[in-house]
Chains A and B, each alone.
Chain A
Amino acid sequence: GENVEQHPSTLSVQEGDSAVIKCTYSDSASNYFPWYKQELGKRPQLIIDIRSNVGEKKDQRIAVTLNKTAKHFSLHITETQPEDSAVYFCAATNDYKLSFGAGTTVTVRA
């Protein structure tokens, strides 16, 4: 099955700086890569996703890049704000079953 690894496990950034989270996947057949944000005690919320026929996607301050050859994808958050503090999960799938990374706890320091 698919195995997704995520780094770093924790990330502390100064407000206004950028944050980058990286994930690798094992199954070359995976073709859908969503990112979820989970605040303490709340549900995971989809913030951005990318399909394998696209190399990059941007939505306001967040962007995701995909390198199919290297089997890795990354989340970029620019101009970080305190409300960006949360746990972020990457995931991958080639059908309906998402395999998640272990998560990155992002703390934005004011």
Chain B
Amino acid sequence: DTGVSQDPRHKITKRGQNVTFRCDPISEHNRLYWYRQTLGQGPEFLTYFQNEAQLEKSRLLSDRFSAERPKGSFSTLEIQRTEQGDSAMYLCASSHRDGNEKLFFGSGTQLSVL
């Protein structure tokens, strides 16, 4: 499968712990996005990278959240001091070139904070 891949698929953690998710975009895509999806809702934009530069962060992304894309390839999303409200599906997507190009999503990481 040469699509967007995410790891892990599922993560269960205790409140207060730190978690890190990884996303590998489609290789030729220079844009990478993180979205969050809760049950019964559409995905909500969190942040966006063009190559290694993080160009926008949503107000949904509190100081406990940090995302990186160090070499313009894979990306990581870290949540520090997790809270129960962080429980959600975290989706990564990538697209090619500038402009309104098609987004391709990964299968997501389902986070459960106990």
Residues of A within 8 A of B (CB): 4, 6, 31-32, 34, 36, 42-46, 49, 51, 89, 91, 93-103
| Distance of A107 from chain B, by nearest CB (Å) | 15
Among all A-B residue pairs, the 4 with the closest Cβ atoms: A100-B42, A32-B100, A43-B105, A43-B107
Residues of B within 8 A of A (CB): 3-4, 31, 33, 40-45, 48, 56, 91, 95, 99-100, 102-108
In the bound complex, how far is the Cα of B108 from the Cα of A49, in angstroms?
Answer: 22
A-B Cβ contacts below 8 A, count: 54
Given contacts A96-B31, A96-B48, A97-B48, contact A46 B41 (CB under 8 A): no
Point out the residues of chain A lying under 8 angstroms from B41, CB to CB.
Answer: 102-103
Contact A46 B102 (CB under 8 A): yes
Point out the residues of chain A lying under 8 angstroms from B42, CB to CB.
Answer: 4, 6, 89, 91, 100-103
In the bound complex, how far is the Cα of B40 from the Cα of A101, in angstroms?
Answer: 10
